[in-house]
Structure 1
Amino acid sequence: MIPHVGPSVLKPGRHGPRGLFLALDDQVFAFAAERHWPAAEPVLPRLSRGANHGLLWFATAAALAVSGTPRGRRAAVRGLASLGLASLTINTVGKPSVRRSRPALDAVPLGRRLKRQPITTSFPSGHSASAAAFAAGVALESPTWGAVVAPVAFSVAMSRVYTGVHFPSDVLAGAALGVGAAFAVRRALRPRRRSHRDTEDD
């Protein structure tokens, strides 16, 4: 096994909380990279690529929109609005402010790596933010549809560590930002009072 050397490996001496956190982050990344996940190999890299530019979520929103229920259509709109806000925040504030380097790929098996490596900075994870934003936005409108979308969103977020393009903290921060975006959209678009028909549609 090739030893992992990441940007967060500690040098001898005393270290502050930030250094210890980054070292732990790197160790968790290395642990995940060195584990064998047979069930994930045929799925997670494809999911990771499918979520590029939000394509997976646009397709999911289209499926919700044609579901035949008003709540499905509203869930699609809220999911996409949440995704848009999260993406805007990531690209204008998040990544330019932190500029964290991507993980070293030494310990990541070749079969897991993406054919096209991202060229943007690592923190926070845009894919995770979009996934969490869309899933949370959908769930805040329709818990039923949210329960369907959530496992896919979780898998997309995990795929970013699995394929070696993000540290775990990048994913957690992105997911937190995405959920925050969904709640911000909820405040901006107050849900109307549910009718008996809406309850039946769920």
Structure 2
Amino acid sequence: MNGPTPHEPVGASLAKRLSAREDPRLSGVVSLLRRLDAADRTVFGAVADLSTPWLDDSLRRISDFANFSKPWFIMAGALAALGGDRGRRAALTGVAAIGVTSFMVNQPMKLANRRRPHRALLGVPETRWVGMPSSTSFPSGHAASAAAFCVAVGAVVPGLRWALRVAAAVVALSRVYTGVHYPGDVLVGASVGAGLGRLTVAVASRLAQRGVGMGCGRGADTT
């Protein structure tokens, strides 16, 4: 069998393909990928082995509830309705960040074609299981959208930063805990989401500044 086994993280399969080229210039990359693969497996196994049945139901519910970015859209709606001008700006920026991130993660990045963890083989208790998504595993869309919204809204409403970070971290943890993602999927997803969240904030800020500038210019013409 040339491809990865159903429970093999992407690092191992990529390392195999690169090592097959027998190019000494790639030896460092192959070694790094194998170390990352080993770390991914070790952390996933450690989480699967946690004896925390009291967390199973709550994290399973959180993981399911986070499908389609529901918590973040609900929060955006609350901000828009109750937060005044700043709340509406935060909601718009947060939703825009989710949109950009979802496109990037679910389109070009999913082409990495990493298989989902095989929960039964890897020892994840069935009491934790949620529906296994049909999409590929790398990177985690849940973690990416959570991080993007957290960063974007936190930049506009700094008082919400820590609450949002905790919420995003719990969602990210739930994806590993329920066995639908490797830790590496979540870490990369969160990193990508945070970066795209910052980019969205920067673009929104630039557009707002241009709008103010043009508004001032029009005002000066009419006085």
Give the TM-score category using the shorter length: 0.7 to 0.9
1:68–1:140: structure 2 CA closer, same or farther, 3 Å change rule? closer
Q: What CA deviation, in whole Å up to 9, does each residue of 1:95-148 have, x standing for no partner?
A: 11x11111120210011010x211111110000000000111110111112222
Asked if structure 2 preserves the Cα contact closer than 8 Å seen for 1:72 and 1:145, the reply is no
Deviation at 1:39, TM superposition (A): 4.5
Higher relative contact order (CA 8 A, sep 6+): 1
When normalised by structure 1's length, the TM-score is 0.84
The answer for the alignment partner of 1:124 in structure 2 is: 139
| Count of residues paired in the alignment | 184
Asked if structure 1 preserves the Cα contact closer than 8 Å seen for 2:80 and 2:88, the reply is yes
The answer for the alignment partner of 1:78 in structure 2 is: 93
Q: How do residues 36-55 of structure 1 correspond to structure 2 at under 5 angstroms?
A: 36-55=51-70
The answer for the alignment partner of 1:199 in structure 2 is: none
Q: What CA deviation, in whole Å up to 9, does each residue of 1:14-52 have, x standing for no partner?
A: 972212211220111011011022452232111111111
Asked if structure 2 preserves the Cα contact closer than 8 Å seen for 1:125 and 1:170, the reply is yes
Task: Report SS of the residue matched to 2:98.
Answer: helix
Which residues of structure 2 form unaligned runs of 5+? 1-5, 13-26, 210-223
Aligned partner of 1:103 among 102, 106, 117: 117
The answer for the alignment partner of 1:159 in structure 2 is: 174
Aligned partner of 1:94 among 88, 103, 109: 109
Asked if structure 1 preserves the Cα contact closer than 8 Å seen for 2:117 and 2:179, the reply is yes
> By percentage of residues, which structure has more helix?
2
1:110 aligned partner, one-letter code: E
Which deviates more from structure 2 when the two are superposed, residues 43-52 or residues 157-166? 43-52
1:70–1:39: structure 2 CA closer, same or farther, 3 Å change rule? farther
Asked if structure 2 preserves the Cα contact closer than 8 Å seen for 1:45 and 1:163, the reply is yes
1:182–1:22: structure 2 CA closer, same or farther, 3 Å change rule? same
The answer for the alignment partner of 1:7 in structure 2 is: 8
Distance in structure 2 (CA, Å) of the matches to 1:138 and 1:102: 30
Distance in structure 2 (CA, Å) of the matches to 1:145 and 1:45: 25
Instruction: Please say which structure displays the higher CA radius of gyration.
Output: 2
1:108 aligned partner, one-letter code: V
Asked if structure 1 preserves the Cα contact closer than 8 Å seen for 2:116 and 2:181, the reply is yes
Indicate the RMSD between aligned Cα atoms, in angstroms: 2.1
Which deviates more from structure 2 when the two are superposed, residues 85-94 or residues 14-23? 14-23
The answer for the alignment partner of 1:188 in structure 2 is: 203
Distance in structure 2 (CA, Å) of the matches to 1:23 and 1:166: 15
Q: What CA deviation, in whole Å up to 9, does each residue of 1:62-118 have, x standing for no partner?
A: 11112243222211111111111110101121111x11111120210011010x211
Distance in structure 2 (CA, Å) of the matches to 1:180 and 1:37: 33
Which residues of structure 1 form unaligned runs of 5+? 194-202
1:102 aligned partner, one-letter code: R
The answer for the alignment partner of 1:200 in structure 2 is: none
Distance in structure 2 (CA, Å) of the matches to 1:40 and 1:135: 24
